[in-house]
């Protein structure tokens, strides 16, 4: 019985590590807007938020919505092409620092085809660790991990939806939502760490199972 509980505990830890890593992609302060080759070979689509939408984002910074359905959101769509994989979703946020210190933006969203009902949510955030002066202009580039569309999804319209979860010490001036296609030079280090930890979790899980049944 003790061996079973130990085994169960190990698998719970493995599962926690797996879930924590899969859902995270982080970027931060940038000196320039995305360029060709950084997030993909081609800019497939881009949408610039309206002044009204920017105002809603800034209001959410001051007064955080109590209901998740009241969170301000951004969205963009594109036509899927399996031959042009992978794709990346990028948010380019320009703004100023409200008071001296750090800034943070956290979004949650995902990709959904016109034929699907829901999507697998992903959290992506910008928390670069820099300490800013009051009213200092800041450019934050927040990108998702690369994702692909299936061959069956060729020609389908895919929509990407993202909600603002948290925003600290940042006043939005403009937000551009982008879709990039093709291989990129810039990949989040978390993207590689994720697969390393998944691989380690699988190996540890197999090892634990082997020891459990060997006893």
Dump pLDDT digits (tens) for 161-192.
899 988 889 999 999 999 999 987 755 444 55
Query: What are the pLDDT digits (tens) for 130-162?
Result: 788 999 999 999 888 888 888 888 889 999 889
Q: Give dist(CA 178, CA 200) in Å, integer.
A: 33
- How do beta strands 122-126 and 24-27 pair? parallel
- The CA R_g of the chain, rounded to the nearest whole Å, is 20
- How do beta strands 157-168 and 104-113 pair? antiparallel
**Annotation: CATH topology of 24-184:** Jelly Rolls (2.60.120)
Q: Give dist(CA 81, CA 154) in Å, integer.
A: 5
Query: What are the pLDDT digits (tens) for 95-142?
Result: 999 999 999 888 888 888 877 765 566 666 665 667 889 999 999 998
Global model pTM greater than 0.85: no
Encoded tokens for 143: 């990108």
Domain ranges of the chain: 24-184, 187-215
């Amino acid at each position: 019985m003790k061996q079973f509980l130990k085994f169960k505990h190990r698998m719970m830890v493995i599962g926690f590590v797996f879930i924590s890593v899969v859902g995270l992609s982080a970027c931060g302060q940038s000196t320039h807007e995305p360029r060709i080759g950084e997030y993909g070979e081609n800019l497939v689509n881009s949408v610039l938020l309206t002044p009204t939408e920017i105002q809603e984002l800034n209001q959410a910074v001051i007064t955080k919505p109590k209901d998740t359905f009241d969170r301000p959101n951004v969205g963009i769509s594109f036509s899927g092409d399996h031959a042009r994989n992978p794709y990346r979703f990028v948010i380019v946020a320009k703004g100023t620092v409200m008071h001296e210190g750090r800034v943070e933006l956290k979004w949650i969203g995902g990709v959904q085809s016109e034929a699907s009902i829901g999507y697998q949510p992903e959290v992506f955030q910008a928390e670069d660790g820099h300490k800013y002066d009051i009213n200092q202009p800041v450019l934050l580039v927040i990108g998702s991990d690369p994702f692909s569309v299936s061959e069956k999804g060729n020609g389908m319209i895919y929509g990407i939806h993202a909600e603002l979860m948290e925003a600290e010490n940042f006043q939005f001036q403009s937000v551009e939502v982008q879709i990039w296609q093709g291989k990129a030079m810039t990949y989040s280090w978390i993207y590689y760490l994720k697969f390393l930890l998944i691989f380690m979790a699988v190996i540890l899980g197999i090892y634990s199972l082997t020891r459990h049944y060997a006893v």
